[in-house]
Structure 1
Amino acid sequence: MTEQCIFSCFVDPETVDNVVDCLLCQPFVGGFSMHGIEGYSKEHANYTVSEQVAGHRSVCRIDIRLQHKDLDSLTAALAALSLQHRIRYWVTPVIDSGII
């Protein structure tokens, strides 16, 4: 397993400020990127009526590059927020990185 990974999580716009504040307080998070996306899912029972009509939900995707050993600390910190909406995530290994 590689030492670095990308933690990608998907956060509802209403709770993104709480998640960002949490990430900024973590000593192992050096930075991250965030952008708005349109999320599609077969699990749309929790969508608002307008989201059901549109067929998607607006969410924020946050990508964080960190050491694999810090994943448990990160997920524990996010779980401690006790947000109204769940945070979905996945982890991708970093094969190489650099600056050109």
Structure 2
Amino acid sequence: MITEQLLVLIAQNDIKDDIVDTLIELDFLSGFSLGNICGFSREHSHFNIKEQVEGYREFCKFEIMHPLEQQQALLSALAVVCKNNPCRYWITPIVHSGTLC
């Protein structure tokens, strides 16, 4: 039975700190990962001139492992931060996890 999920959130860099602050406040999370990514899209109209020349836009990517039963609480907390800066996300089940020593 699946008990944990992985939420991947792609956000604009200008709200990264607000998302970090929100996630740190959630007691049901033990932690999360954050990295920089380059986003490519066929919709260049959203890109500024520099991004159009480079062909990509810089974003931050959060990976948040969370209990299945906390999905709605997590999405609700993130929705407050992302309401003025829409963020793309997806959720996948975690079939197995552990620590390799």
* TM, length-normalised to structure 2: 0.91
- Cross-structure match for 1:34: 34
Q: Which runs of 5+ in 1 are unaligned?
A: none
Shift of 1:37: 0.6
Distance 1:70 1:78 in 2: 12
> Cα distance 1:29–1:46, how it changes in 2: closer, same or farther (>3 A)?
same
Give the aligned residue type for 1:46: H
The residue aligned with 2:43 is 43
Task: Tell me the alpha carbon deviations over residues 42-93 of structure 1, each in whole angstroms, 9 at most, x when there is no partner.
Answer: 2332211111111111001000111111111111111112543211101111
Q: TM-score, normalised by structure 1?
A: 0.92
Q: How do 1:1-100 and structure 2 match up within 5 A?
A: 2-100=2-100
**Whole-angstrom distance in 2 between the partners of 1:97 and 1:82:** 29
Deviates more, 1:1-10 or 1:14-23: 1-10
Moved over 4 A (4+): none
Give the conservation status (yes or no) of the 8 Å contact 1:39–1:56: yes
